[in-house]
A and B are shown apart, each in its own frame.
Chain A
Amino acid sequence: MSVTAAPANIRREAGKLGAFLRRDLLVQMSYRTGLISDWVNLLAQVAIFAYVSKLVDPSKMPAFGGSRGSYIAFVSIGIAVSGFLQVGIGRLMTAVRSEQLMGTLESLLVTPTRSTTLLLGSVSYDLIYVPIRTVVFLLLVAGLLGVEFDAGGLLPGLAILATFIPVVWGIGAVTAAVVLTFKRGGGAVGIATFALTVTSGTYFPISLFPDWVEALARLNPLAIALDGMRATMLGGAGWMQALETIAMLMPFTITSLMCGAAMFRWAMRREQKLGSLGIY
Chain B
Amino acid sequence: MDVRSVRRSFGEKLALAGVDLEVDAGRVCALLGPNGAGKSTLLRILTGLITPGGGAAHVAGVDVAADPFEARRRIGFVPSGDRTFYLRISGIENLVFFGRLYGLSRGEARRRAEARLADVGLEEAAGSRVNTYSHGMQKRLSVARALLLDPPVLLVDEATHDLDPVSARRVRQLVRRAAADGAAVVWATQRLEEIRGFADQVLVLDRGTVRFFGAVEELMLRSHARRYVLRIRSDGPQLPAPDAIQEIGGHGCLVEPVGTSADKIRLTLDADVQLGDVLARMMAAELAILDCTQERSEIEEAFLRLTGDEAA
CB pair B49–A112 under 8 Å, yes or no, is no
CB pair A103–B50 under 8 Å, yes or no, is no
Instruction: Point out the residue from A22, A107, A275 that lies within 8 Å of B41, measured CB to CB.
Output: A275
CB-CB under 8 A from B77, the residues of chain A are: 110
Q: Does A12 contact B (CB under 8 A)?
A: yes
CB pair B83–A112 under 8 Å, yes or no, is no
Q: Does B229 contact A (CB under 8 A)?
A: no
Q: How far is the CB of B55 from chain A (nearest CB, A)?
A: 15
Q: Does A30 contact B (CB under 8 A)?
A: yes
Residue of B nearest to A19 (CB): B100
CB pair A110–B48 under 8 Å, yes or no, is yes
Q: Does A106 contact B (CB under 8 A)?
A: yes
CB-CB under 8 A from B51, the residues of chain A are: 269, 272-273
Give the distance in Å from the alpha carbon of A272 to the alpha carbon of B72 in the complex.
15
CB-CB under 8 A from B101, the residues of chain A are: 16, 19, 108, 111-113
Give the distance in Å from the alpha carbon of A273 to the alpha carbon of B15 in the complex.
13
Q: A112-B72, A275-B41 are in contact. Are A104 and B102 (CB under 8 A)?
A: no
> Interface residue tally of chain B, by bracket?
35 or more
CB pair A30–B97 under 8 Å, yes or no, is no
Q: Does A102 contact B (CB under 8 A)?
A: yes
| Main SS class of interface, A | helix
Residue of A nearest to B83 (CB): A103
CB pair B49–A278 under 8 Å, yes or no, is yes
Q: Does A18 contact B (CB under 8 A)?
A: yes
Q: Does A109 contact B (CB under 8 A)?
A: yes
CB pair A102–B72 under 8 Å, yes or no, is no
Residue of A nearest to B98 (CB): A111
B68-97 contact mask (Cβ, 8 Å, vs A): 1 or 0:
111011010101011111111100010011
Q: A103-B84, A107-B98, A113-B101 are in contact. Are A26 and B93 (CB under 8 A)?
A: yes
Q: Does B129 contact A (CB under 8 A)?
A: yes
Task: Tell me which of B69, B75, B84, B100 has the highest count of chain A C-beta atoms within 10 A of its own C-beta.
Answer: B100
CB pair B49–A27 under 8 Å, yes or no, is no
CB pair B100–A272 under 8 Å, yes or no, is no
> Interface residue tally of chain A, by bracket?
20 to 34
Q: A23-B93, A275-B10, A275-B44 are in contact. Are A110 and B49 (CB under 8 A)?
A: yes
Q: Does B160 contact A (CB under 8 A)?
A: no
CB pair A15–B100 under 8 Å, yes or no, is yes
CB pair B73–A112 under 8 Å, yes or no, is yes
Residue of B nearest to A113 (CB): B101
A1-35 contact mask (Cβ, 8 Å, vs B): 1 or 0:
00000000000100110111011001100110000
CB pair B100–A107 under 8 Å, yes or no, is no
A80-116 contact mask (Cβ, 8 Å, vs B): 1 or 0:
0000000000000000000000111011111111100
Give the distance in Å from the alpha carbon of A23 to the alpha carbon of B96 in the complex.
9
Q: How far is the CB of A22 from chain B (nearest CB, A)?
A: 7
Residue of A nearest to B46 (CB): A110
- In B144-169, the 8 Å CB interface with A consists of 145
Q: Does A277 contact B (CB under 8 A)?
A: yes
CB pair A104–B83 under 8 Å, yes or no, is yes
Q: A27-B86, A104-B86, A277-B49 are in contact. Are A111 and B81 (CB under 8 A)?
A: no
Q: Does B177 contact A (CB under 8 A)?
A: no
Give the distance in Å from the alpha carbon of A103 to the alpha carbon of B84 in the complex.
5
CB pair A111–B83 under 8 Å, yes or no, is no
A108-130 contact mask (Cβ, 8 Å, vs B): 1 or 0:
11111110000000000000000
CB-CB under 8 A from B86, the residues of chain A are: 23, 27, 102, 104
Give the distance in Å from the alpha carbon of A19 to the alpha carbon of B10 in the complex.
35
CB-CB under 8 A from B49, the residues of chain A are: 106, 109-110, 272, 275, 277-278
Q: Does B240 contact A (CB under 8 A)?
A: no
B199-239 contact mask (Cβ, 8 Å, vs A): 1 or 0:
00000000000000000000000000000000000000000
Q: How far is the CB of B52 from chain A (nearest CB, A)?
A: 10
CB pair B81–A27 under 8 Å, yes or no, is no
Give the distance in Å from the alpha carbon of A12 to the alpha carbon of B99 in the complex.
12
Q: How far is the CB of A124 from chain B (nearest CB, A)?
A: 12
CB-CB under 8 A from B129, the residues of chain A are: 30
CB pair B50–A275 under 8 Å, yes or no, is yes
Give the distance in Å from the alpha carbon of A279 to the alpha carbon of B47 in the complex.
17
Chosen A-B contacts, 30 in total, with CB atoms closer than 8 Å, are A15-B103, A16-B100, A16-B103, A18-B100, A18-B106, A19-B96, A19-B97, A19-B101, A23-B97, A26-B93, A27-B88, A30-B88, A102-B83, A103-B83, A103-B84, A106-B49, A107-B84, A107-B98, A110-B49, A110-B75, A110-B77, A111-B72, A112-B68, A112-B69, A113-B101, A273-B51, A275-B8, A275-B10, A275-B44, A275-B49
Instruction: Give me 18 other A-B pairs in contact (C-beta within 8 A), A23-B97, A114-B69 excluded.
Output: A15-B100, A15-B105, A16-B103, A22-B93, A104-B86, A107-B145, A108-B101, A110-B48, A111-B101, A111-B102, A112-B69, A112-B73, A112-B103, A272-B49, A272-B50, A273-B51, A277-B49, A278-B81
Binding site for B on A (CB under 8 A): 12, 15-16, 18-20, 22-23, 26-27, 30-31, 102-104, 106-114, 269, 272-275, 277-278
Query: What are the 8 A-B residue pairs with the smallest beta carbon separation, nearest first?
Result: A19-B100, A103-B83, A111-B101, A112-B69, A30-B88, A275-B50, A112-B72, A107-B84
